[in-house]
Structure 1
Amino acid sequence: MSQHSARVVLVAGPSGSGKSYIASRTGLPILCLDDFYKNLGDPSLPWRGAAIDWDSPDAWDGDAAMAAIEELAKTGTAEVPAYSISANRAIGNRTVTIGDSHLFIAEGIFAAEIAQWCQELGLLATAYALHRPRLVTFVRRLTRDLREHRKSAGVLIRRGVTLYHTDREVLARQIELGCVPATGRQIRRAISNMPA
């Protein structure tokens, strides 16, 4: 096993706020934390009424995400699930590599949940909570979800309205967990100024 030494930049933010887009614009290797959602049928999945609550951190496998981050930081490569949002399960695996980079991004709505953990292990470069105006996030999220056929249109519209009203709470929790609130431009500028 080759030895590597890298640190992670966590990018959290409400669903649809543009985390993947901002991460892709930095030029750094990316670990998509959405790939660590639990599979449909997992008995530990949380429920809200008669439906699974996919917006709860309990719907996500933080232990597996942390294992991948540690592996990437120490060896430069990690095998991760390839998760299908529309199928609600992993449909395979894929290999993530970060090459010679000593920084990489881990982005996803639950990134803040592991910020303290990364800090304690000495793996955290910094953590951000991406924020945009709520209406912009609503439109971005709905456009993306419809384009990717994540669920039926009716489900996506109802979910979008619900998330519109909870985006501020999501952002507040991410800040409370140690993320710095920032716009996409601020995140990109800060990352470009980090020592490689």
Structure 2
Amino acid sequence: MARVIVLAGPSGAGKSRLAERTGLPVLRLDDFYKSAGDPSLPVITEGANAGVVDWDDPASWLLEDAVAALAALCEVGRAEVPVYDIAHDGRCGSQVLDLEGAPLFVAEGIFAHHVVESCRAAGLLAAAYCVRQHPMITFWRRLTRDLREHRKAPLVLLRRGIVLMREQRELVAEIVATGCEPVSPDEAARFIEWLPVPR
């Protein structure tokens, strides 16, 4: 049975780059977002972005589907997973993620800490990390990435980024409280190298 390494942390903290650095199979948990138009999507009610879907609220994400995919990967070694287009707020297909016998794989995303408890209870968890950097660094990395990928209108991205920067310390504390170890990307990379291989 395979085990999962969970990489949680603020958007822009470097989770995706770190996942690539490991050389392990990667499950992108952000692909489990709900599609635009879903009536259950949460909406921002205050501030400059009032009326816009709150994509930073875990209610915009399909936790049960993500946990089911994690369980299948650990137990069977493969799972059909969605492919999500953030720029268009919707799924654009699906693909089969096959671990090809790898005993460890990475699951990363901004809501990744929400899967830690169930993975630990089921004996599927190898490690859980909260990847974090200085709020200003995270803000700039997130903004430049989102502008480059045309994820949302520039003004929406800027306003959202400022709010997330101000809330980052609280978010990191929340993630750590779920059992994720707070680390920089480089620290996480070293710890992952030292993890024992499941047998």
* TM-score interval, smaller chain: over 0.9
Aligned to 1:138: 139
Give distance in 2, aligned partners of 1:127 and 1:58.
22
TM-score, with structure 2 as normaliser = 0.94
Q: CA deviation at 1:47?
A: 1.7
Kindly provide the amino acid, as one letter, of the partner of residue 54 in structure 1: W
Answer yes or no: is 1:63 the counterpart of 2:59. Answer: no
Give distance in 2, aligned partners of 1:147 and 1:28.
26
Gaps of 5+ in 2: 46-50
Aligned to 1:23: 19
Aligned to 1:115: 116
SS in structure 2 opposite 1:154? helix
Answer yes or no: is 1:89 the counterpart of 2:66. Answer: no
Answer yes or no: is 1:48 the counterpart of 2:44. Answer: yes
Q: Give deviations 1:134-188, integer Å, cap 9, x for gaps.
A: 1110111011101111011111111111111111111111011111101111111
Q: CA deviation at 1:51?
A: 2.1
Answer yes or no: is 1:36 the counterpart of 2:37. Answer: no
Aligned to 1:178: 179
| Residue identity (%) | 47
Give distance in 2, aligned partners of 1:128 and 1:194.
13
Give distance in 2, aligned partners of 1:169 and 1:84.
28
TM-score, with structure 1 as normaliser = 0.95
Give distance in 1, aligned partners of 2:78 and 2:64.
17
The list of structure 1 runs, each at least 4 consecutive aligned residues, that deviate by more than 3 angstroms after superposition, is none
Kindly provide the amino acid, as one letter, of the partner of residue 16 in structure 1: G
Answer yes or no: is 1:12 the counterpart of 2:8. Answer: yes
Q: CA deviation at 1:195?
A: 2.2
Answer yes or no: is 1:150 the counterpart of 2:151. Answer: yes
Aligned length: 192
Aligned to 1:73: 74
Kindly provide the amino acid, as one letter, of the partner of residue 146 in structure 1: L
Give distance in 1, aligned partners of 2:61 and 2:170.
18
